[in-house]
């Protein structure tokens, strides 16, 4: 078997994390030779990745900011008896934009013809043989000083041990009349919660373009398509948007674990979902994926593993607390009452605390403010207690 070119970095998985790492490396280590391998026919899938601007570390802004497709100065949340505008700037990166920017990066490195390179190989799955070697789809072995596992959920050996799920169906529309809102509504929550916490998510990309996404937090990974379509249609009707063209659909399901994930021994450096670099309680990957990319790219080559491990260790209490919140949500509170947890979050927390929570930089005092207070109605304490004992979670009761 041929042993092909050696790279400084081999990135396995060209989704959100793999592409962010490519951009951070191009900025901090333009001399590095990087191979990015994606099993799908192209990079990035079909997503809209939103985040709070305050999620992004200041030192990552130079390479991160050019990737941002849309920005808004704030957003709304709507619950029964509570509407709040949160004045934290909110923003989005699109799959299409990130794909194009990453391809451009590879073309620019090629045109420079210097030592640095970004080579993209898509269309075949790649196997991680060791922390410094991968096997490509054609069987060729490739060495890398660092192999970075960015395979997302595909890296996990099976379903998560104990988790709830956040499932989504979203449509992007062109609308025939001006959309009535200029800022996102991150949660539009109606009182008739049928089978878990559900809400509509609204991103106005312009006066005539909007993404409407149905989201449900539930014990099971399925999504009620009819319910999603009904809520989206209701919102279009409320907005007076009768003349619409559907431009795109995105869907997916994200586990929200309350058990710590198992990690394979001697595994390669792992980022994104594969490495636990995502916010377990919000489902947002961006804050930790951007942080991972920046730390990795700044680290001296022989210190990459150590610096990432130190950063993860420094964050382990927060990761544990995020999983604990998921346990509270999925095991302690009954499905029809879950929305009250989120209403309380937005009722009592200041913008500073909200921003630190989403950015995964919350303090002990922030954590206490989230959980200490009058308990929600609809508790299931027995189920909550059982969730600590069963390795597969409490089961549906």
Ligand X SMILES: Cc1cc2nc3c(=O)[nH]c(=O)nc-3n(C[C@H](O)[C@H](O)[C@H](O)COP(=O)(O)OP(=O)(O)OC[C@H]3O[C@@H](n4cnc5c(N)ncnc54)[C@H](O)[C@@H]3O)c2cc1C
CB closer to ligand X, 168 vs 197: 168
The minimum distance between CB 284 and ligand X, in angstroms, equals 4
The minimum distance between CB 321 and ligand X, in angstroms, equals 19
Q: Assess contact for 163 and 258: CB atoms under 8 A.
A: yes
CB closer to ligand X, 360 vs 383: 360
CB closer to ligand X, 216 vs 340: 216
Q: What are the angstrom distances between the C-alpha of 27 and each of 22, 151, 259? A: 9, 22, 36
The minimum distance between CB 211 and ligand X, in angstroms, equals 10
Q: What DSSP designation does 238 have?
A: H
CB closer to ligand X, 49 vs 394: 49
The set of long-range contacts for 367-371, using a CB threshold of 8 Å and a minimum separation of 24, is 367/321, 370/325, 370/345, 371/325, 371/328
CB closer to ligand X, 152 vs 394: 152
Query: CA 124, CA 34: separation in Å to the nearest integer?
Result: 17
CB closer to ligand X, 77 vs 150: 150
Q: What are the angstrom distances between the C-alpha of 308 and each of 12, 47, 153, 238, 313? A: 17, 26, 20, 47, 8
Q: Assess contact for 321 and 329: CB atoms under 8 A.
A: no
Burial readout 204-242 (b: 16 or more C-beta within 10 A, e: otherwise): bbeebbbbbbbbbbbbebebbeeebeebbeebbeebebe
**Cβ-proximal residue to ligand X, closest one:** 15
- What residues have CB less than 8 Å from 265, skipping those under 6 apart? none
The minimum distance between CB 214 and ligand X, in angstroms, equals 10
Query: CA 247, CA 62: separation in Å to the nearest integer?
Result: 31
The minimum distance between CB 104 and ligand X, in angstroms, equals 18
CB closer to ligand X, 270 vs 370: 270
Tell me the CA end-to-end span of the chain in Å, nearest whole number. Answer: 54
The minimum distance between CB 268 and ligand X, in angstroms, equals 12
Catalog residues that contact ligand X under the rule CB under 6 A.
Answer: 12-18, 37-40, 45, 47, 49-51, 125-126, 150-152, 154, 168, 250, 252, 254, 272-274, 278, 283-286
The minimum distance between CB 155 and ligand X, in angstroms, equals 7
């Amino acid at each position: 078997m041929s042993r092909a070119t050696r790279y400084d970095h081999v990135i396995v998985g060209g989704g959100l994390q793999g592409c962010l790492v490519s951009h951070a490396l191009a900025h901090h280590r333009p001399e590095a030779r990087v191979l990015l391998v994606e099993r799908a026919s192209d990079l990035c899938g079909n997503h809209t990745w939103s985040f709070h601007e305050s999620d992004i570390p200041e030192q990552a802004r130079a390479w991160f900011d050019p990737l941002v497709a849309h920005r808004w100065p704030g957003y709304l949340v709507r619950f029964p008896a509570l509407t709040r505008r949160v004045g934290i700037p909110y923003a989005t990166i699109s799959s299409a934009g990130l794909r194009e920017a990453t391809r451009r990066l590879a073309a620019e490195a090629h045109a420079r013809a210097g030592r640095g390179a970004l080579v993209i190989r898509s269309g075949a799955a790649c196997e991680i043989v060791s922390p410094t070697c991968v096997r490509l789809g054609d069987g060729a072995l490739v060495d890398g000083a660092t192999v970075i596992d960015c395979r997302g959920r595909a890296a996990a050996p099976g379903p998560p041990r104990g988790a709830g799920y956040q499932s989504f169906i979203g449509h992007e529309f062109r609308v025939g009349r001006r959309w009535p809102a200029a800022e996102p509504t991150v949660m539009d929550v109606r009182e008739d919660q049928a089978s878990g916490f559900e809400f509509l998510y609204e991103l106005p990309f312009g006066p005539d373009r909007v993404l409407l996404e149905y989201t449900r937090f539930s014990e099971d990974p399925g999504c009620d398509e009819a319910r999603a379509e009904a809520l989206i249609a209701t919102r279009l009707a409320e907005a007076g948007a009768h003349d619409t063209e559907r431009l795109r659909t995105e869907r997916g399901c994200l586990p929200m674990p309350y058990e710590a994930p198992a990690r394979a021994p001697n595994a390669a450096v792992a980022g994104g979902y594969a490495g636990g670099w995502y916010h377990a309680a919000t489902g947002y990957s961006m804050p930790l994926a951007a942080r991972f990319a920046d730390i990795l790219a700044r680290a001296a080559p022989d210190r990459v593993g150590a610096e990432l491990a130190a950063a993860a260790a420094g964050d382990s209490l927060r990761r544990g607390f995020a999983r604990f919140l998921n346990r509270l949500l999925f095991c302690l509170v009954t499905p029809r009452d879950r929305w009250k947890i989120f209403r309380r979050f937005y009722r009592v927390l200041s913008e500073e605390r909200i921003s630190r929570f989403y950015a995964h930089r919350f303090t002990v005092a922030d954590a206490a403010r989230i959980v200490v207070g009058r308990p929600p109605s609809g508790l299931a304490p027995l189920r909550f207690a059982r969730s600590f004992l069963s390795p597969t979670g409490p089961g549906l009761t």
